[in-house]
Amino acid sequence: MMTPHPRNARIKGEPQQPNRFIFGDAVDAAGLEATEYLVHTAAPAFVCRLVGNDFTEFAGRDADAFASALLFDADANRSVYVCNRGLRLFDFVFTGDIPTAARLQAICDEAMSTYQRLHEAYAEREVGPRPREMRQGPTEPLPPAERSLAIRTLREAARAAALDPMHRAGFAAQVQQALMGGDQAVFTEAQLSLLAEPAARALLVNSARDAIAFPEVVRADGTVVSFELWALPFAFSRAQGGVWWHFPLLERLETPLADALDVPEKAILWISPTLFTVDMLNERACQNLMHLASVMDAGCDFAPLDPASSRATYEAARKTQDPQLVISWLPFLVERGALPIDQARQLSRKALDAVMPLVQQAIGAEMEYGEAELFAPLPWWESLSAGVRAWNRKRLGLTVALIASKVGGLQDLEAVAEYQPELQGYEVGLKVRGSEELLARSPWLMVPDVAPDKDATWKDLCDCLREADIPLSETIVKLH
C-alpha cells in the first residue's frame, strides 16, 4: 500500500541500480535536439552528446576491426571520442572525479558496444519474432492391405468398447494412434462402416473429438502436459484470390490474451501462428490437428500444408481479382483447467479489445485483406460450430436482403438447396415462387469435423429459413 510522502522527508534511494549506459533523446525550446545523449551512471559518472555519420580522421579509421581514439579539439578546447563505426561522443560533463584519457576511452568503447546491441534489439523488435521451424504431420497413405487391417482393427475396438467399459481406457489410445498416423482414411472409413451401429460410432467419433480437444504431450524428460484446444474465429474479406495461412506476428497475442482472460501467471497459453480455413480443416477432416499440441510444445510452428508449394500457389492466386469472404480460426492451447468456460465468456469482450489490433497487424503484414471481424474465444469444437453458424447466417442474410430489395420483400421468395460434395455443404438458390430462374446463390457450409454431420447442417438450414418464413426444398442430383 502506498501512503503520501511528507514534504520534508528524506528521499530513499532505490535498491536496484539503473543500467550503466543509458541512451536517449532530449528536447529544447526548438523541439527535438539534433544529437542523442549518453549517460554513464557508474563512477566516473558523466553525460555527453552522441552523433552518427562522423568521419573524423584518426589512426584507426580504416581498420577492419573496431578502433577508437580520444582526441583533443584545441580550437573548441574539448575532448572528443571517435570510432571507426562512424560514432562520435563529445561535450563530456562529469559528476565527481574526472577519469584519465585511457580510462574514458575504455568506458566509451564499452558504451559503443552496448549502443550497437541496443540497435540490434530495436531492429529485431521491428522485424518481429525470429522464424521458427515449421513441422508437418505425416501424410503417407498405408498400402491397401495394411489400411484394410487398420480400419478393421479400429472398428472392432469401437464395438468392443461400446459393449464392455473395460475396453474403453485402451480404446482412447487406439483412436489417438489412428489419428496421428499418416492415413486419414483409417479413421474415416472406420466411422463410416459403423453407420448402422450408432452407439459404437458415437463412441469412436467422440473419442476422436476428445483426443483433439484435450491433447496430452509427453515431453523428452517423461513429464506429461495436458492441454485444452481453443480458438478465436476470424472472418475477413479479400479482393484477390488465394488465402495465406502462416502469420509469425500472431505470437505477440499470447501475453495480452492471457492477461485479458485472467489465465494464471504460470499457466501455459500458446497461440498458433497458423490460421485454419474451412477448406484446410475439411481437407484432412480435422485429423491433422492431433499434431498441433506436440509441435507447439516443441517451440515450432505447425504447417497443415507444405509451406513452399502453398506459398507459391498463394502468390499466383493473389494476382487475380476474386472477391471472397473467408471464415477461419486462430487456435490456441491452454493448460488444462486454467481457463473455465464461464470465465472466458465473461471476459470475451475484454479479450477481443486487447488482441484485435494485434491480429490485424499480424495478418496485414503477410496478406492483403479488407474488412475483418474477430469472434469470442471458445473451446475448439464450440468455436468451429459457432463460427460456421454465424458465417452461414451472415452470408445467406446478405443474399436474401439484396434479393428482397429487388423483388419488393420476402413474401414471394422460396429457396432450393442442393448438396455439393466439393463445397462440403449446400448451395442455396433463391427464386420467386413459380419461377425456375434462380436470382442468387449462397453457400451453407457444414461444420468441419472428424465426421461432418450432413443431417445437422440440413436441419440448421431449415430452421434458419423457417425463421425467415421462406419455403425450402431440396434438389437431389441424379446420376445417370
Query: Residue 89 CB: number of other CB atoms within 10 A?
Result: 27
Q: What are the phi and psi torsion angles at 337 (to 5°)?
A: 90, -5
Mean pLDDT of 292-305: 92
* Whole-number Å distance between alpha carbons of 194 and 202: 9
Q: What are the pLDDT digits (tens) for 379-401?
A: 999 999 999 999 999 999 989 99
The least confident of 7-16, 72-81, 221-230 is: 7-16
Q: What CA–CA distance (Å, rounded) separates 65 from 183?
A: 57
The Cα–Cα gap between 113 and 115 comes to 5
Q: Which domains, and CATH codes, for the chain? A: 21-127 (no CATH), 134-213 (no CATH), 221-376 (no CATH), 393-475 (3.10.20)
The dihedral built from the CA positions of residue 235, 240, 241 and 245, taken in this order, carries a sign that is negative
Per-residue pLDDT tens over the stretch 354-377 = 999 999 999 999 999 999 999 999
Average pLDDT of the segment spanning 65-70: 94
Per-residue confidence (pLDDT) for residue 7, from 0 to 100 = 80
Q: How far is residue 30 CA from its own chain's centroid? A: 44
**Which of 150, 206, 182 has its CA nearest to residue 453?**
206
pLDDT tens-digit readout, 164-176: 888 887 899 999 9
Q: What is the pLDDT of residue 15?
A: 64
| Length of the chain (residues) | 480
Percent residues over pLDDT 70 in the chain: 97
Comparison of pLDDT for 422 and 192, the residue scoring more: 192
Confidence of residue 101 (pLDDT cuts 50, 70, 90): very high
Q: What is the mean pLDDT of residues 34-43?
A: 93
Residue 14 has a pLDDT of 66
pLDDT tens-digit profile of 111-150? Answer: 999 999 998 888 776 666 677 888 988 888 899 999 999 9
* Helices and strands (H, E) in the chain, number of each type: 13, 21
Burial of 281 (0-12, 13-18, 19+ CB in 10 A): buried
How far apart CA 429 and CA 414 sit, in angstroms, is: 8
Hey, how many other C-beta atoms are within 10 angstroms of the C-beta on 291?
19
First vs last C-alpha separation in the chain: 82
Q: What is the arithmetic mean of pLDDT over 245-261?
A: 94
When pLDDT is cut at 50, 70 and 90, the band that residue 423 belongs to is confident
- Other Cβ atoms less than 10 A from the Cβ of 226: the count is 12
Is 50 exceeded by the pLDDT of residue 480? Answer: no
Average pLDDT estimate for 156-182? 89
Looking at residue 17, what is its pLDDT?
76
User: Model's pTM, two decimal places?
Assistant: 0.73
Residue 475 pLDDT > 90, yes or no? no
Mean pLDDT of the chain: 91
pLDDT average, residue stretch 443-459: 95
Q: State pLDDT tens for residues 343-354.
A: 999 999 999 999
What residue type is assigned to position 126 of the chain?
Answer: E
Q: Please give the Cα distance from 405 to 410 (Å, whole number).
A: 9
